[in-house]
Chains A and B, each alone.
Chain A
Amino acid sequence: MEVGSATEPTLNLPLSEEVLKDSSEEYVQLQQRIFLTTVVVCLFGAALSAVFYGFTTSMSLLIGGISGLLYLRLLARSIGKLGKSTKSVGKVQLIVPVLLVLAVSKLPQLEFFPAMLGFLLYKPSLIIQEFLVSKTQVISE
């Protein structure tokens, strides 16, 4: 089959290094924004739980939040490697919740539900981030 026929148009524009670099930087900036939002949400949650539930709950929530950040970092690194050095997304990041649950089950100082809630605090930050991005796009249009 002829390459670039009328049914399958191909784009053969030469891409400059700057365009590709800008695109990679966009991903790095998105990661930084997500991490920052997650840190803020974790600290806010830990402060609130310290006020209402006490030090142990707050510490568990904070440790869960740190685990969530580590998980998100490893996931972002796996996705960053996708298509460059590997063909599939790695599963290394799944070791983080396993270690968290094991630590919570072995250490009496930590509580299970606050730790898991802290771990899942990356999800609200993702939603907040996506909401902010969509809002800025609407404003710019």
Chain B
Amino acid sequence: MDSITTAASVVAAGLAVGLGAIGPGIGQGSAAQGAVEGIARQPEAEGKIRGTLLLSFAFMESLTIYGLVVALVLLFANPFAG
């Protein structure tokens, strides 16, 4: 792999993780805040709130995982490496 491809891959990996984590990070923080507030107001609904939070977190975090996977592929299994 030549040096330009290596440099571009490293920069792209950093951007993929960094930019890909912004949106889900904001969303997860907002969802967790709402869930904790909801549990504090209605402790009897804790199970339902945590269940809904689990489902929403699983879907939100997959967006971060996509970025992570792209970054790891670029770093460890780069298809552009000659």
Chain A residues in the interface with B (C-beta under 8 A): 11, 15, 19-20, 22-27, 30-31, 34, 72, 75-76, 79-80, 82-83, 87-89, 93-94, 97-98, 101-102, 104-106, 112, 116, 120, 122-123, 126, 129-130
Residues of chain B from 38 to 52 with CB closer than 8 A to chain A in the complex = 39-48, 50-51
In angstroms, how far is the closest chain A Cβ from the Cβ of B26? Answer: 13
B47 and A24: CB pair below 8 A?
yes
Question: B47's contact among A30, A72, A102, A122, by CB below 8 Å, is which?
Answer: A30
A126 and B58: CB pair below 8 A?
yes
Question: B57's contact among A11, A15, A75, by CB below 8 Å, is which?
Answer: A75
Interface of A is mostly: helix
9 new A-B pairs (CB below 8 Å) besides A31-B54, A79-B57? A22-B47, A25-B47, A26-B48, A83-B39, A88-B29, A105-B72, A105-B76, A112-B77, A126-B55
Chain B residues in the interface with A (C-beta under 8 A): 28-29, 32, 35-36, 39-48, 50-51, 53-55, 57-59, 61-62, 64-65, 68-69, 72-73, 76-77
The number of A-B residue pairs with CB atoms under 8 Å apart is 94
A27 and B46: CB pair below 8 A?
yes
B54 and A76: CB pair below 8 A?
yes
In angstroms, how far is the closest chain B Cβ from the Cβ of A41? Answer: 14
Contacts of B40 in A (CB 8 A): 83
Contacts of B28 in A (CB 8 A): 89
How far is A97 from B70 in the complex, measured between Cα atoms in Å?
A: 11
Contacts of A106 in B (CB 8 A): 76
B53 and A23: CB pair below 8 A?
no
**From A13, which residue of chain B is reached at the shortest CB distance?**
B44
